[in-house]
A and B are shown apart, each in its own frame.
Chain A
Amino acid sequence: MNPFVIHTGLVAPLDRVNVDTDAIIPKQFLKRIERTGFGQFLFYEWRFTADGQPIDSFVLNQPKYANSTVLLARNNFGCGSSREHAPWALLDYGFRVVIAPSFADIFYNNCFKNGILPIKLSEEQVQELFSRAQSKDNYELTIDLQEQVVKDSDGLSYPFEVDSYRRYCLLNGLDDIGITLQYEDKIAAYEAKKRA
């Protein structure tokens, strides 16, 4: 996994609540057996018509938001299916950060396993970011995980909370399995006790 330390990027505002993982990556694209290549299908049914033409009104199809790497969203982002294809698709498309007032648990967890930083800010703060991203051209945010702060070039600065252990793993790009295997003795002892 790639470490995440600091990131600056263009912001795309997706103004919907309860964006589910079926919307993020529709089921017809879950059949691949690789982790890569899902970006082309991200938000597919919102991005493209049934015959594959781009839908101009969808935020990611607007030239203003092309090449964005920070996704701004509303409450309960990532609800529904546990499919990790959702963060894979976001990452493959180019997103490294998702900012929303709240996230569904499994999605939130899956992001950290893939080097995406999901950030919870208050509804008011998210609303302010929506206003700026929608009204300004090339609106960028800098996300500093070391300092735990979201900033823009106009002086906006929002600190954010993140679990210290998740932060540590993301900063260092650590592999969970490797960490767990350090406790092999304890796992074996637990299994021996259970079998007894």
Chain B
Amino acid sequence: MKPRTMFEKIWDSHVIHEEAGKPSLLYIDLHLVHEVTSPQAFEGLRLAGRKVRRPDLTFATMDHNVPTADRFNVKDPISRQQMETLTANCKEFGITLADLNSPDQGIVHVIGPELGLTHPGKTIVCGDSHTSTHGAFGALAFGIGTSEVEHVLATQCLQQSKPKTLEVRVVGDLPYGVSAKDLILAIIAKYGTDFATGYVIEYTGDAIRKLTMEERMTVCNMSIEAGARAGLIAPDETTFAYLKGKRHVPQGEDFLAAVEQWKQLCTDPGATYDHYVEIDASQIAPQVTWGTSPGMGTDITSTVPHPDSFETAAQRKAAQDALSYMGLTPGTPMSEIKIDRVFIGSCTNGRIEDLRRAAEVAKGRKVSSHVHAMVVPGSQAVKQAAEQEGLHLIFQEAGFEWRESGCSMCLAMNPDILQEGERCASTSNRNFEGRQGRGGRTHLVSPEMAAAAAIAGHFVDVREWKREGVNKEVFQ
């Protein structure tokens, strides 16, 4: 048999029907649903008199609209209606819902892996572009629109044209003090926000193998910011150790049998990708974005670029527009940019390891007097785990607000929102104009960089703090 990539193996095993000149009909193993992109899909089912074909393969939660301070007090009536609509739809169609009362509630891409719903080799979709997160397990996971949500609800299938494959090989070791977030931001800064459009990325190489599952999720999460349909990382012992014992993962003998199957998913020796790039992890420094697109980023040791330094007229105009929106002057050292707000959380960086790394930086220090900082756990389970470890106390003593789980200020569909002109160090995934609030200025960074910026009041090279020997345990 011809050697195949991991993507091809997963694809082939899910094709139900193929016909020349038409998209393939692909079976979907897991459909995650949230309150924002589903109401019109359920309405469509009702209008057509259709049912949900496999409620048992469908799982819902509410995350985008959820207030993170006083969570049961949803003041915005339209937000409340959207959440109530999800509750009613799940009841009507027999779908399991982790609502605000559930200990399982959280950001949809945090709870899928946490509950063990995400397995290697599965096809996973959700009406949310950051569904790519689940690719960290070797699942083919991608975001879909609401029409497709309706299609999957009705048929458990999707019509899909086969994407191309792109290997992103990460050689070398990430230097100490440099995180998975810096790695993915550096990849996007180097190759651009559309370099992977039409492709599924498979991340390979030593540096990827050394990442924990949560770090792999951070990398795969932002694949969409490179334009990719999905990101994939081959499952290995790290993956199996993470999954073992999770609620929706096979147990005992069945688990061992599943692991044997999962091991078969890896790309065969000799299989080829449609495209290939290689990046040296050892050359990456902590990243800070300066513009309004995730690719507009640079090293913390660098300066705000001059629009003239870009190659094409379109890039120069984009840089000019971005700097004007961001209120930045070319040549300013990144470390001199002062901030007003800090947001630590999101489906990119709202997991327990992220909070640990931020807490290590914050420990025994104080948030700068002019900064309003908050930490928003990605799920109720993350919140509980953090509180068991006492992380919430570290944050609170340092002056961070400790919140309830939700999407929060990643997209500001809830009360967590930037005011006009406010500048934020954010561990989220998008620095688009207005993303965190009209006129808000977002700089994407890692959790440890965000925590350090909260304390210093401006961006700092968190590696130097380590060199000073202040937080010995941070980067081990």
Contacts and interface: CB of A to CB of B under 8 A. Distances in A.
Contact of A76 (B50, B151, B197): B197
Interface stretch (A24-32, A90-98, A137-145, A148-156): A24-32
Interface string B411-438: 1110000001000000000101111001
Contacts, number: 163
Interface of A: 15-18, 20, 22-23, 26-28, 30-35, 45, 50, 74-76, 79-84, 87, 102-106, 109-110, 113-114, 163-165, 176-177, 179-181, 183, 186-187, 190-191
A190 to B, nearest CB: 5
B255 to A, nearest CB: 18
A80 B161 CA distance: 20
A27 B129 contact: no
B227 A22 contact: no
A181 B155 CA distance: 7
Interface residues of B, number: 66
B17 interface: yes
B151 A176 contact: yes
Given A26-B434, A31-B36, A187-B25, 16 more contacts: A17-B314, A23-B432, A26-B438, A31-B65, A35-B40, A50-B420, A82-B37, A84-B127, A102-B194, A104-B194, A165-B22, A177-B154, A179-B159, A183-B16, A183-B17, A191-B156
B151 A32 contact: no
A84 B39 CA distance: 12
Interface string B3-44: 000000000000011000111010100000000110110010
A17 B148 CA distance: 27
A109 B145 contact: yes
Give the interface SS of chain B, mostly helix, strand, loop or mixed.
loop
Contacts of A32: 78
B321 interface: yes
A31 B420 CA distance: 22
Contacts of B36: 30-31, 83
Given A34-B40, A104-B197, A176 B318 contact: no
Contacts of A83: 36-37, 145
Nearest to B39: A33
A15 B314 CA distance: 9
Given A80-B129, A82-B37, A163 B161 contact: yes
B150 interface: yes
B214 to A, nearest CB: 23
A34 to B, nearest CB: 7
Interface in B143-161: 143-148, 150-151, 154-157, 159, 161
Given A110-B145, A163-B161, A183-B16, A31 B229 contact: no
A92 to B, nearest CB: 13
A33 B88 CA distance: 13
Contacts of B163: 105
Q: Which 3 A-B pairs have the closest CB atoms?
A: A33-B39, A113-B147, A84-B145
24 contacts: A17-B318, A23-B432, A27-B435, A31-B65, A31-B79, A45-B433, A76-B197, A80-B129, A80-B224, A81-B129, A83-B37, A84-B127, A102-B194, A102-B197, A113-B145, A113-B148, A114-B147, A165-B21, A176-B151, A177-B151, A180-B157, A186-B16, A186-B25, A187-B157
